[in-house]
Structures are given as C-alpha cells and as structure tokens.
Structure 1
Amino acid sequence: MNTNDLNLFEAVAHHGSFTRAAEAMFTVQSNVTARIKNLEEEFGVPLFTRSNRKVELTAAGETLIRYSKQLNHLIDEAKRAIGKSEVIKGQIKIGALETMMTIKGPELINELAHKFPYVDLEFKSAMRSALISDVMNYRLDAAFVPAPLDIPELVQLRVKDEEIVAVAPADCKNLDDLLKRNPLKAIVFDQGCVFRARLESWLVSKGVSQYHKTVMNSIEGVVNFIESGIGFSFLPHEIITSFYGSRKIKTFAIPKELAMMRTLLVYRKDVPPSPALKAFISLYEDTGNPLSRS
C-alpha cells in the first residue's frame, strides 16, 4: 500500500465508479480495479459493495477513508512544515443549492482566488439531502445547506440568513388573489427542494391540499414560467433583486417562520480539514458564527 493506492481508493469512493475514478486520476480502469483489489487483500475485507449501478463504501471502507484523509492531511502538513514554501495548495469539492451557486458562486471563486490562488475549487449543486449525504459519505469536503440540521458528526458554521418570498406573475394583486386562482398553479423544483417544501407548507396552512405543479430544474426556467403567467413559486429575495428585478413578476412577503432561511457551511468532524479546506473555511470564520465546533 502507498499513498497513490489511497488516492485511487478515495477517487472511487468520491465518484462511486471505477470508470469515473480512472478518468479523474488519468489512468485506466484495470489499474484502479487492481489497486483496490490489492488493498482489499491487504486488509482482508471488502472495501466496496459493487452493483451494476454504483459502487459504495462498506463499513470497513468508511473506516479506511477516515484514516486515508487523515494521512493525506498529515502529509500535506509535513510538506508545509519541511518545505520552504508556505503557499497553500490543493483541491476542494464544495456543494451548494443552485440558488446559492447563482448568487454567491462567482463571489466565492473570486475571493478564494484572491486570497488563496493555488487552491482549486470544484462546485457541485444538488438538493439539500444529497449534499448532506455527500458530505457524510466523503464525496464532498463541505457543503452549504439550509438549517436546521441535527447531525452530531458535522461541524456547522453559520454563513448567512436570507429571506424567501413568493414570486408571482405581474398581474397578481396579492397573495389572496393568488390563492383564488383555479386551478392554483405553482412552478417548483423537484422533491427535496427546501423552497418547494416551504411553499407546500404555506399552502397547507391556507387549507390548500391540491395544486397543479410544473417541475423545473433551473432558476431561469422557474422565473420564465412565472413571467409567462403559468404559476407562482417561492425563491430567495436576493436572487430576484440581483438578477430578475426587471422581469414582469411581483414578489410578496410570506410568514416569517417560512420566510427566514439560515445557510450553514458543514463538514465532517472526524476528518482534519486539509490546508485547502481550512483556507476555504477561514473565509467565513471571521464573519460567521460557529454553531457546533466540538
């Protein structure tokens, strides 16, 4: 076993595929398969469960990946301690909701590039549950997710609070007018979207159990459909004012308990952050509020 074997092992765990891991590591699949087999023989246990659709860590694999990340962290620290350069280098994989990627993605990349130019950032957008799962399963180094979150294994750093509003066609007078429409139509993201969940909670509070839904997979698509008069949605107020202020749409305040959304930056407690991840976290430690640091 060597550090390259562990890097290949982490690549398979991250991508859930021997083929994609080989592509990411610029090698052939047969080499990845052989190195993982050697690791499994060395430890005497299977590290992955294999199926036609995906590859997942076993319990032994989850234990090994924690140690693998700790070893890589120590190696990075040793290089920095022994070497002449104090430059922070490395790659990190960060997840976020698409709405946050749209609003803050460019700003994050620019700030990181300015302060830590040798840290490479890979972004992934997904639903809240998928982001949490990817952090828990070591596929992401960290993720921005909406609160609340009750997972003791994760450190939670408060990043920002934002307001969610109802966004309706320009001819809508108020929310009562909206609710009178028959059929009531909404433009929503897929199941698992925090904005869809709050929209449906609001409808239930108004006695509405059925509505016509059109599912979209992009913010631009949602806004376009609203502007066309097809329906309404719940979206962050900042995204509307920043990018869609000139569109033929209206925004309305919703009850505070549904309107306020806190965004957290979460990462695992049991794996020491790499120098690159520490650099990224430092962008928030000055202004953020550590909710759970133990």
Structure 2
Amino acid sequence: MYLSDLKVFEAVLRLGSMSRAASELGTAQSNVTTRIQVLEGKLGISLFERHARGVAPTPAARRVLPYVARLAKLAADARAAARDDGVPNGTLLIGSLETTTASRLSPLLPRFAKACPNVRLAITTGTTTRLLNEVIEYRLDGAFVAGPVDHPDLHQRPFVREELVLVTTPSIRTKDLTSIEGLKMIVFQIGCSYRQRLETMLIEMGITLSEPQELGSLDAIISCVSAGLGVTLMPRGVIATAVRDGRVAAHALPLSRAAVETVFVWRKDVYISSAMTALFDLIESRP
C-alpha cells in the first residue's frame, strides 16, 4: 500500500467522484480508477459503490479514512524531522479565530517573519469547532481557539484572556434589549463559541430571537451592528476602535459571562518542528 494510493482514495472520498478527483490531482480519470481498484485489491474490500452521479464510500472506506490522514502526517513529520537542522524552515499551517487574528496575531506576524524568514506561515480563520476538527484531522499544525479545550489527542497552552462585551448600535441601552421584538444576532457561523454564549445569554434574559444573520468577516459584523441590524458579542479589544469612533457601543457583562480565554492547541502525536518551537517562543515572549 503506497501513500500515493491513499491520497487518491482521500480525494475520491472527499469529492464523491473519480473525475473530480482526477481533475484535482492533475491526472487522467482512468489512472484514478485503476489506483482505487489496486487499493481495493490489496485490502480485499470494496471502498466505493459506483452510481450514475459518481461514487459513495462504503462503511469500510469510512473506517479507513482516519488512518489516511495519520499516515500522511507521519510521512510528512518524518521528512520534516530529517531536514530539521534547528533553523526554522518549511511551512507552518496555523488556524485562528477571526477576532484573534485581527486583535492579537497582527502585531506578532511581522515579528515571526523577521525571526524566521525561511518559514512560510499560512493563517486560516474559522470557528472554534471547525479549527479543532482541522487540527484533529491533521490538516492544521495548530490553532488559536476559544478555551478551555478538553480532547484526549490535543495539547493546549494559554494565549490570552479577554473580556467579552455585548456590542450594539450606540442608541441601544442594555435594558432596551427586552423590548426589541425579534432581536437579531449578527454572528459568525455555527461553531463560534461567542455565538453560543450570546444566544444562551439572550434566551436567559427572556428575549425572543429572530433568525441570526451569519457573516464571514469581523468588519461585516461590526458594520451591521453599527447600522442597527442586530447585536453581537466580541472581545472588548476587538471593537475598541469602532467604539472610539462612535460606530458601536460596548456593554459590560457580569464576570461569569465576560471572561474568555484563547488557547493554542496542537496534536500530541506530531513532530514539533523548529518552526513550531519558534512560534511557541513568540507566544511566550509577547508583551
């Protein structure tokens, strides 16, 4: 069994089609079909059920899939370890909350680039749920997420503690919220921890919520709240400029609701490269 065969298998399963997998991998569909047939022969099982619109994975294929990512990561770690002479290099794939990227990572990234010029640091943003899954499934080397995190396969280290505030248009006071019919939350997609906290808080206040407005960027959320389209929950530091400019108002919350911690997580079973060590050092030495 070759890693290249497993890569083809993963692409077919993810895309649900031999032809789409061939297009992504830059090869002929016949080659993909042959590689899957060879893999099925080696395993002695059928991995896909063929139908008119493509293929569907069998239960056996779903059982095999987690090992594909682990084997690919193990091979990548072996190559990285062989080439790692102590000078940070290579690629570091890091995930981060949108809010953390905007308020906390932006000042650190130039420092990292200067200290590690041979490292390509790629940052992808998402919700805590999505980023945790990406790390668990070996697609990210690590991620900054809302903590604490309790998962048997992950390490975590504290990054920053912040104060969450309720964010509204300047004309709204906290006591006004209960009188607003169909109050709308302006939030990131499901899986965002701030969204979950806000929904719980508003429901406990007896507020009837309308369908939330989901947006993909911090700027868009702040703009909608500023326009009076709804409310959101954000770290105070993230919306400080918008508050200072009079675009939004920040309302303090009880400590039990306001305290939030961002942590950095990574898998326990991966190789810690010099590049990752340099990132750890930067986290620890930040002002």
Decide: shared fold, TM above 0.5. Answer: yes
| Contact persistence 1:168–1:251 (CA under 8 A) | yes
Q: Report what 2:70 is aligned to.
A: 66
**How far apart are 1:206 and its partner, in Å?**
1.4
Q: 1:108-165 CA deviation, whole Å, 9 max, x = no partner?
A: 4312211111111222111211111111111111111111322111111111111110
Question: Is 1:145 the counterpart of 2:145 in the alignment?
Answer: yes
Give the direction of change, closer, same or farther, for the CA distance of 1:12–1:207 in structure 2 (3 Å limit). same
Q: Report what 1:90 is aligned to.
A: 90
Matches within 5 A, 1:1-294: 5=4, 9=7, 16-17=14-15, 27-28=26-27, 33=32, 37=36, 40=39, 44=43, 58-81=62-85, 86-172=86-172, 174-211=173-210, 213-242=212-241, 245-285=244-284
Unaligned ranges ≥5, structure 2: none
Normalising by structure 1, report the TM-score.
Answer: 0.77
Q: 1:79-132 CA deviation, whole Å, 9 max, x = no partner?
A: 345xxxx53211121111211222234334312211111111222111211111
SS at match of 2:106: helix
Normalising by structure 2, report the TM-score.
Answer: 0.78
Query: C-alpha distance in 1, partners of 2:241/2:31?
Result: 45
**How far apart are 1:58 and its partner, in Å?**
4.0
Query: C-alpha distance in 1, partners of 2:24/2:89?
Result: 18
Identity of aligned residues (%): 27
Q: 1:177-224 CA deviation, whole Å, 9 max, x = no partner?
A: 233333434323332222221111111221224346433332222211
SS at match of 2:277: helix
| Contact persistence 1:166–1:253 (CA under 8 A) | yes
Give the direction of change, closer, same or farther, for the CA distance of 1:274–1:11 in structure 2 (3 Å limit). farther
Give the direction of change, closer, same or farther, for the CA distance of 1:33–1:167 in structure 2 (3 Å limit). same
| Contact persistence 1:154–1:266 (CA under 8 A) | yes
Query: C-alpha distance in 1, partners of 2:236/2:181?
Result: 26
Question: RMSD over aligned Cα, in angstroms?
Answer: 3.7
SS at match of 1:263: strand
**How far apart are 1:277 and its partner, in Å?**
2.9
| Contact persistence 1:164–1:235 (CA under 8 A) | yes
**How far apart are 1:69 and its partner, in Å?**
2.5
Query: C-alpha distance in 1, partners of 2:119/2:136?
Result: 23
Amino acid at match of 2:70: R
Query: C-alpha distance in 1, partners of 2:31/2:278?
Result: 31
Give the direction of change, closer, same or farther, for the CA distance of 1:49–1:94 in structure 2 (3 Å limit). farther
Query: C-alpha distance in 1, partners of 2:8/2:111?
Result: 28
Query: C-alpha distance in 1, partners of 2:178/2:43?
Result: 62
SS at match of 1:254: coil
Unaligned ranges ≥5, structure 1: 289-294
Query: C-alpha distance in 2, partners of 1:10/1:199?
Result: 42
Give the direction of change, closer, same or farther, for the CA distance of 1:49–1:247 in structure 2 (3 Å limit). farther
Matched residues, number: 279
